[in-house]
Structure 1
Amino acid sequence: MHTMNTTNRLASLLALTAALAGCGGAADKTSTPAPSPTPAPAPAPVPTAPVSVGFVQPTSNVLEPNVSESLSVNVLVNGSQAPNGTVATFTVNPTSAAALAPVAPTTVGGVANSTLTVSSLPPTATFQVAATTTSSANTATDSLTYYVRPAHKPLQVLVPAYFSATGTTSPWVTLTSGATSYPDVKITAIANPSSGVLTADTKEDTDLTKAIKAFQAVSGTSNRVIGYVATTSISSGALSVADIKATITNYIRLYPGLFDGFFLDGMATDSSRVAHFQEVYTHVKGLTTGLTTGATPPAAPIVIGNPGTYPVAAYAGVADTLVTYAGNAAAYANIDPQPGNTWVYAKDNSAQAMLVHTASTCTDMQTAVKNANRPRMNTGVVYATNLAIGAPWSALPTYWQQMLGTVDALNKQRTLPLC
């Protein structure tokens, strides 16, 4: 009995072990593999600014006293057009410089509008206008600096008449006929006998005398003629004040009563020669005989200086008009008095002139003249020619009549003549 019971218990244990082993093997074959490590999260995108504001109008930041100017700002929220009714607040600094109406307009189509009215400010005054808008996330501001210039005066034409006066086909004849066609356009012609150096031995050019008289006699005009004066020499460099004064004296001796003033070519641009030209300017302004200005009593003779680019501001005090650009038409498109030469806004636009060559077509000429007439350029005395570097002033441009017509149309705010 004892042996049998032991045998039976052993058999039962072996059977149970086998059964358990079988169950364990089945479980291994159907088990789920262990999960892979969790990847690192992707970096969050950089969010766009919740709100932004930027001026889209005005087109110029040069204004005149007592004028009104439209202002517009574009407002974005989360990079998209702001909802209608978003407030943009405008401010002026200093507050006395101008008035705004409304001060806090709301957007329509993402744009908020106001009107700026300038106070009676002196020339060269500056002020700032800011626009601010706020969302629940942040505040954004944009600002403009304004410059105030004197009231705009009509455009004038300055002609480098460095051509012969001999014969019926002389450009002086064409110059005079143009003045007859456009009597409302003020023309100043620069006569250039003897290349601007007149000595005691220099003789009168009688053809030039006749041409000047014919030009000045055009009825209904205020045309002027000034004498070309060289202030430098290729051989000796800068001419002395005494040499310049001698040339001016000889102009008066040879052409008494014909000239309204003088054109000082080669004017310097740095401060080292300001005193030099101040002495010349004072001398010309002190002349009381031998010149004519077409007025009764005669006004002071005029001085036009030609540095050919923007000089230091002090030169504005030693000439009535400065040629602040002399060069080709293509380069003139990129000229800008801001930010380095904003002193030009202290003067009338008639205190700045441009002489542009290589304006190959009538359209190029009109582009250059319109550019000069912009408030930002503040240039009121103009000339353009299709002739190129080398001899750009040796004749009148082929579009002489159209240029006078363009100036006349701009002055009268009419449609420009067709080219």
Structure 2
Amino acid sequence: MRTTHPLAFLLAMSATLAGCGGSTDKSTSAPPPPPPPPGVVSLQFLNHAHANVFDQGSTTNTLSVQATRDGGNADSIPVIFSAAPGTVSPTSILPKGGVASTTLSVPVAAATGAMSITASATATNKVTQTFPAYIRPAPDRLQVLVPAYFSASNAAAWTALTTGAQSYPDVKINVVVKPDNAASGIIPAGTYTPDSALVTAIDALKAAHPNTKVFGYVATGGGTNGTISLTDVKTTISQYATHYNTKIDGFYLDGMAVERNLIASFYQPLSAHIAATTGLGTTPPLVVGNPGAYPHKDYAGLVNVLVTYNGSATNYQTTDPQTSSASWVYDGQNAAQAMQVHTASTCSDMKAAVARAHLPRMNTGWVFVTDQTISAPWSALPATAYWKSFLGTVDATNKGNSLPTC
């Protein structure tokens, strides 16, 4: 009988196992995923997300998208643009280098508020991208709103205010005044003597700068009928009209509320009282309301101008009506909104604040920026050189000129 050598037997068994797939070296990793289907197109708007507010009557707005297919440029696939309200030309574009661009025109009579802008393309798939956008009225030039809470007996401050204004006759300037004997913003009923120094200062300012409007400061206490009642505020309005008459053009309602529930009980009756007031330099009187933040949209119908920001330069750079649920600001012209910014320490900070207010997205037409700090930002004008640079910045912005050096 033939005897098999043990080593030969082991070699034969190993070969048999390998042939049956029993090798211990076989990989156990999962198979790679299948490649994506060919021909898939994607679109991405290249317009900056914050540059999404367009003026009525504007005709040179560029819209652009990046078109890709299978990771490369989709230059052979038409991109179709649409806008409502508004028109785009051309509507169908073959991308070049993966970019398709068109021009958006907005009719002069287009409805303000939200608009629809889309771009679409079709390959193996169909894709549509939306660019959220708004239409606002064509803007007016920037104006200045000065909270001149310093005493008229401060000759240096009023001289700086007047001479600075005189240097820029084309800039409309609106000045809020506080009589020394009504610094609290309330003038009680009864005998009242006007602040004679203030009357003289107003006359000098208006003579030097005819583009000036003056507003009497009125505290409202937030419309809560607490320490300041509706009667107190109405009386103050009447006292201003009687004793300052044509020296002032309207009223600055400080501390205005933001809640809708106070409109009917306080601010609507106050608005009606002001509208019926006569004898001022402007008829009907102009009204600036200062809630210092975005209030309920119905407040916009009660005043000429709303101060929707009152705070530091740093915080102003992140303030945004769209993230504050206040896109209703685009229903009104930029002149219906104001900002008052303090602690803009440098000339560059000041210019940045003015530039932000001027953005279509902010839609703000009345501006004031100061280097004074939060402790008492409106109790003095900014430094003289700063004040003149601020006025020069507003003037240059309005005229499209280079900004003045600091």
Seen in structure 2, the aligned counterparts of structure 1 residues 46 and 357 have a Cα distance that, compared at 3 Å, is farther
1:83 CA drift (Å): 4.2
Larger deviation, residues 41-50 vs 327-336:
41-50
1:281 aligns with 2:274: no
Within 1, Cα distance between the matches of 2:201 and 2:246?
A: 14
One of 389, 392, 405 as aligned partner of 2:374: 389
Larger deviation, residues 375-384 vs 117-126:
117-126
Give the letter for the 1:287 counterpart: T
The alignment partner of 2:64 has SS state of strand
One of 104, 128, 131 as aligned partner of 1:144: 131
1:30 CA drift (Å): 4.6
Structure 1 residue aligned with 2:260 = 271
Pairs within 5 Å for 1:355-370: 355-370=340-355
1:256 CA drift (Å): 3.0
- Give the TM-score normalised by the residue count of structure 1: 0.86
1:167 CA drift (Å): 4.6
Within 1, Cα distance between the matches of 2:225 and 2:139?
A: 41
Aligned pairs, how many? 387
1:178 aligns with 2:170: no
Report if aligned partners of 1:123, 1:345 keep a CA contact under 8 Å in 2.
no
The alignment partner of 2:308 has SS state of strand
1:70 aligns with 2:62: yes
1:147 CA drift (Å): 1.6
Within 2, Cα distance between the matches of 1:113 and 1:103?
A: 9
Within 1, Cα distance between the matches of 2:404 and 2:213?
A: 25
Within 2, Cα distance between the matches of 1:234 and 1:267?
A: 7
Report if aligned partners of 1:161, 1:189 keep a CA contact under 8 Å in 2.
yes
The alignment partner of 1:237 has SS state of coil
Structure 2 residue aligned with 1:130 = 118
One of 28, 32, 36 as aligned partner of 1:44: 32
Give the letter for the 2:76 counterpart: G
Within 1, Cα distance between the matches of 2:9 and 2:72?
A: 62
Over the matched positions of the two proteins, sequence identity in percent amounts to: 42
Pairs within 5 Å for 1:18-417: 20-21=2-3, 27-28=8-9, 30-31=11-12, 32-33=14-15, 34-35=17-18, 36=23, 38-45=26-33, 50-57=40-47, 60-68=51-59, 69-78=61-70, 80-92=71-83, 94=84, 97-136=85-124, 138-169=125-156, 171-193=157-179, 194-195=182-183, 196-199=185-188, 200-219=190-209, 221-232=210-221, 237=226, 239-275=228-264, 276-289=266-279, 291-293=280-282, 299-338=283-322, 340-398=325-383, 399-417=386-404
Q: Tell me, which stretches of 5 or more residues in structure 2 are unaligned?
A: none
Give the letter for the 1:313 counterpart: K
Within 2, Cα distance between the matches of 1:305 and 1:239?
A: 16
Give the letter for the 2:339 counterpart: M
Larger deviation, residues 117-126 vs 146-155:
117-126
Within 1, Cα distance between the matches of 2:326 and 2:166?
A: 37
Within 1, Cα distance between the matches of 2:306 and 2:165?
A: 23
Within 1, Cα distance between the matches of 2:328 and 2:224?
A: 34
**Structure 1 vs Structure 2 CA RMSD:** 2.3
> Deviations 1:351-391 (Å, cap 9, x if unpaired)?
00001111111111111111111111110000011111120
1:270 CA drift (Å): 0.6
Within 2, Cα distance between the matches of 1:191 and 1:253?
A: 16
Give the letter for the 2:100 counterpart: A
Structure 2 residue aligned with 1:6 = none
Seen in structure 2, the aligned counterparts of structure 1 residues 281 and 233 have a Cα distance that, compared at 3 Å, is closer
Seen in structure 2, the aligned counterparts of structure 1 residues 392 and 123 have a Cα distance that, compared at 3 Å, is farther
